[in-house]
Structure 1
Amino acid sequence: MKLVIIDYGAGNIQSIKFAFQRLGVEALLSNDSEQIKNADKVIFPGVGEASSAMTKLWESGLHDVIADLKQPVLGICLGMQLMCDSSEEGATKGLGIFNTDVVRFNSDVKVPQIGWNKIENLRGDLFQGLENDYIYLVHSFYAPKTIESIATSTYGLEYSAALQKDNFYGVQFHPEKSGTYGAKILSNFLAL
């Protein structure tokens, strides 16, 4: 299996690469559009600020590449947020894959949300064999609950912990830092 992690200068890609190594899969880090297009599975990571990350995608031409992929794609954290229509963070136009806008948590809760939180309302193949449990999150912005939500979490309000549309999957949390539960999610993604 050819697994590519998109390397566009925004993300904690080494920890994701190591998580797949623990599953026996060697991932290729790449910003080459042909390698990404020809992968069996693609990981779209992201840690950082939305507008600067999106600028990097535009400058590299990868914004069009990602949106046109036909194989399973998993966006992680900021990667998931950039797959949405827009983000309040930096008034950023997203890739428009998921039909929702990313917004900032209101002042009722401390931001960023850092740490373990429960994931619920699981559905779909990404969560095959899993029940509600705890996942690791670090974020100040979130995607509201939508028809494309395949899992939710609650922090002041219920929001999308995971999204899916066609071959595109997104998780707000960090499966690579969520222990055996996260490893099972990555393994399920590989099995799609």
Structure 2
Amino acid sequence: MKGVYERLDGEIERMPREYERLARGLERISSGYERLDGGLERMPPEYERSAEDIERIPGEYERLDGGLERMNRSYERLAEDIERIPPEYERLGGGIERMPHKYERLARDIERMNWSYERLAEDIERIPPEYERLGGGIERMPHKYERLARDIERMNWSYERLAEDIERIPTKYEHLAEGIERMPHKYERLSSYYDQISNRKSG
């Protein structure tokens, strides 16, 4: 009998520790949810920045198209100037010496035009990598959301398991209480058996 009571006392002493362990588990899960909420709050700004970058791309293309149109008009004007040069030679006659200076100016203008075209070509070459970078970032976003969803699902499962454990605790206490209530009756029955045996021996 003494051993049974000691085991019951041990079970009752362990119950507060079990409650503390459950409380720590709930606290860790709550902090996990807070970290997940913080991650979800940071996701919209990333989408907004990606959307802003994508919105700027058409404007960059329009700007480049406008630059190309201006370059074409400049080349057309240069072609017209070059076509006018032979009549200038004939009309000026003795002023032919001044023509090399015009050629030099035209050469400088053409050089500047070529440099502008090279700059535009470099800008156009940089645009596809920008699209690829933005596309890769946007493709990665759903995977991050899927990972967060899986973490939340695991958290919910842990909460359910803990809730089931907590629901079972009162039942364990009830069983212990019933066992403790039955102990005096068992002790009385054992005592009566002992008395009967003692009476038989003495009789």
Q: TM-score when scaled to structure 1?
A: 0.14
Higher radius of gyration, 1 or 2: 2
User: Which has the larger share of helix?
Assistant: 2
**More relative contact order, 1 or 2 (CA 8 Å, 6+ apart):** 2
Q: TM-score when scaled to structure 2?
A: 0.14
User: Which has the larger share of strand?
Assistant: 1
